[in-house]
Amino acid sequence: MRHFITSTFGLALIGAVIVWASLPPLGLWPLAWIGPAFWAYLARQKNLQGRHPYLALWVVGFIYWTAIFYFLVFPHWATSFGLLALSFYQAFYLPIFIGLVRVAVHRLRVSVVLASPVVLVGLELARAHLITGVTMGNLGHSQYRWIELIQVSDLAGAYAVSFVVMLVAASLARAMPYNNKSWTIIPLFPAAAVMAATLIYGHLRVYSDDELDSRPFDARVALIQGSIDSELKHDPKRQQKIQQQYVKLSKEAVNSYGSSTVPGGLDLIVWPETMFRSGLFTYDESASVPPSWKELQDRFKESLEENAISSREPVCELAKELGVPMIVGIDSSNCIGGIQVGGDSLKYDVENFNSAVFVSAAGKILGQYNKMHRVIFGEYVPFADHFPWLQRLTPLPGSLTAGKSAVSFDVNGLRYSPSICYENVLPHVIRRQVNGVGQVDVLVNLTNDGWFKGSNELDLHLICAVFRAVECRKPFIIAANTGFSASIDGDGRILAQGPRRDTEVVFTEIRRDGRLSWYLMYGDWPAGVCLMACLMFAVVGIRARIVQRKGKKSAHENG
């Protein structure tokens, strides 16, 4: 047992279990300050134990990420393979982390207290960009309820919180007995200094209770959270049930507060992603007429317009009936041409989008956002446009088209920046959207998390929104099927939250936040510096390995 605990695999696994426990579903956040110390301690060792220590680290990484992302088994039996593939890829980050820190410590004489957070943040930035990106389960996310601590996110993103947590853990590792040396408290002093600076900054940046109470609200919003688990198969009766549930909840919301024409009534109703089950149809003016079209060319455009008008009627009539502006998640398609399919049968050549539509209380569509950042193998299959047989290997009926630009919706003088589903998982995506449309007052995310059966995915997704709110210094509202619908202020406080896997109308009052954000202005350059350091450590390590092999080869030849 003692040999296991002191082995490379044992130490790495203990650290992984502790870090996993700090995140949902357990959420024992203080453990996040302890778990990574075992990884930093491994990096301090002159030689890693075992015949294949980096393989052992990879196995631990695979176990860890499989435990984090186990919710991927729920949508469909085939997504279990997606879990294995994602865990296989993510597992490389632990051995890479240990390896790069070891290069910094043993080759370049950098303190493990500095090297560990630099490498961790650099790798977190890489994870956010490679293979479409994922940040769920980042180390700093464990601290999302410590409001004063997470305020540094407006300086360097959520990566700054991970930096602080890893630095403290590495300081503990540096203080631990090593090579017959006893405990030492000296490495804890820089950790204490960084923590003090972080918390002082956080205390100065957050709104006080008096300030929160004195600020008038700018809008009253109803977030509609239905609760119907999602499935890949298309069942018309099920689609009708979804529509009826959301209409019923929306009417209850209006009955509680009144329409936008009533003083003190609702200013906005928000539905989650794809929950309005009647699709929206649009068309390009340049849509091509099929060669075999027998009628006048104008008649082709007339048929497109007729279909477009009829597709708009359901959502427009609902907003008009409720008397409240709505932001609604809806499937949409855009005709880019016509295709004759035998005889007189015509089908449209279309682009398919995952969209958010803004409808006025008068029943007019005033804006549409098409999701720009798609989830690989969840919303599109790479190269399926050129090799259609790839699409048939998956349970997906087809790939979505990526939207081309960010938009904002002006609702009674407030500018809302919409995002859909996992777009809010990636800080650079939300930053790009906010900066791409100019003035933004509120972030709004529409998501359907009904695929995941109320698992820890709901918590991990909500945590990402908390950090986006602080990074951008904007209130963030979320409408989520099965949860968690929520309202988050610019300090990262969760002001209102829906239940897990149940229905509720979440009412919230929106207040503008006029504070500036360094992260919004300058982005990921601090994390980028950390990534550059990782690349430098990698070059040094590879060069040292090449020189070592040449030395061994030369010694063998001369021996």
Between CA 369 and CA 417 the distance in angstroms is 9
pLDDT band of residue 287 (cuts 50, 70, 90) is confident
Across 457-467, average pLDDT: 97
107 and 234 both lie in a single domain = no
pLDDT tens figures, 43-67: 999 888 888 999 999 999 999 999 9
Query: Does 554 fall in a domain?
Result: no
What tokens appear for 17 in the block?
């279990």
461 and 324 both lie in a single domain = yes
pLDDT band of residue 239 (cuts 50, 70, 90) is confident
Tell which residue, 494, 485, 508, 456, has the closest CA to residue 227: 485
Between CA 124 and CA 119 the distance in angstroms is 9
Rg, the chain, Cα only: 26
For the domain that residue 417 is a member of, what is the CATH number?
A: 3.60.110.10
Amino acid sitting at position 238 = R
Across 533-559, average pLDDT: 80
Query: Does 289 fall in a domain?
Result: yes
Res 114 pLDDT > 80 = yes
Confidence (pLDDT) at 424: 96
203 and 221 both lie in a single domain = no
Strand segments, DSSP code E, in 53-203 are: none
Half-sphere exposure of 150 (CA within 13 A, CB side): 26
Tell which residue, 311, 325, 312, 354, has the closest CA to residue 447: 354
Confidence (pLDDT) at 523: 94
**Cβ atoms of residues 398 and 348 within 8 Å:** no
Query: Does 66 fall in a domain?
Result: yes
Confidence (pLDDT) at 1: 60
44 and 149 both lie in a single domain = yes
Across 64-92, average pLDDT: 92
pLDDT tens figures, 149-161: 999 999 999 999 9
Tell which residue, 137, 143, 102, has the closest CA to residue 119: 102
190 and 222 both lie in a single domain = no
pLDDT band of residue 349 (cuts 50, 70, 90) is confident
**Cβ atoms of residues 72 and 83 within 8 Å:** yes
181 and 252 both lie in a single domain = no
Domains in the chain, number: 2
β-pairing, 494-497 vs 486-488, is: antiparallel
Share of the chain residues as helix, strand and coil, in percent rounded to the nearest 5? 50, 20, 30
pLDDT band of residue 358 (cuts 50, 70, 90) is very high
Confidence (pLDDT) at 199: 97
Q: How far is CA 347 from CA 280, 289, 303, in A?
A: 16, 11, 12
530 and 441 both lie in a single domain = no
- 337 CB-near residues (< 8 Å, 6+ apart): 287, 288, 290, 348, 349
pLDDT tens figures, 387-416: 665 556 566 666 788 899 999 999 999 999
On average, the pLDDT of the chain sits at 89
What tokens appear for 280 in the block?
């929206």
Q: Domain containing 278: what range?
A: 217-510
Res 107 pLDDT > 90 = yes
51 and 167 both lie in a single domain = yes
**Cβ atoms of residues 502 and 458 within 8 Å:** no
Query: Does 255 fall in a domain?
Result: yes
Across 113-137, average pLDDT: 95
Query: Does 157 fall in a domain?
Result: yes
Across 261-278, average pLDDT: 89
Q: Which of 18-22, 29-33, 190-194, 263-267 has the lowest mean pLDDT?
A: 263-267
Query: Does 67 fall in a domain?
Result: yes
Residue appearing with tokens 């301090």: 44
Confidence (pLDDT) at 340: 56
pLDDT tens figures, 359-395: 999 999 999 999 999 887 667 666 666 666 555 656 6
Across 290-309, average pLDDT: 72
478 and 371 both lie in a single domain = yes
198 and 280 both lie in a single domain = no
β-pairing, 326-340 vs 346-359, is: antiparallel
- 106 CB-near residues (< 8 Å, 6+ apart): 46
pLDDT band of residue 305 (cuts 50, 70, 90) is confident
Query: Does 550 fall in a domain?
Result: no
Using alpha carbons only, give the angle 450, 433, 366 rounded to the nearest 5 degrees: 80
**Cβ atoms of residues 105 and 115 within 8 Å:** yes
pLDDT band of residue 337 (cuts 50, 70, 90) is confident
Question: In DSSP terms, which residues pair with 370 in a beta bridge?
Answer: 355
109 and 222 both lie in a single domain = no
Number of H helices, E strands in the chain: 19, 13
pLDDT tens figures, 500-512: 999 999 999 999 9
**More confident site: 57 or 211:** 57
Query: Does 487 fall in a domain?
Result: yes
170 and 302 both lie in a single domain = no
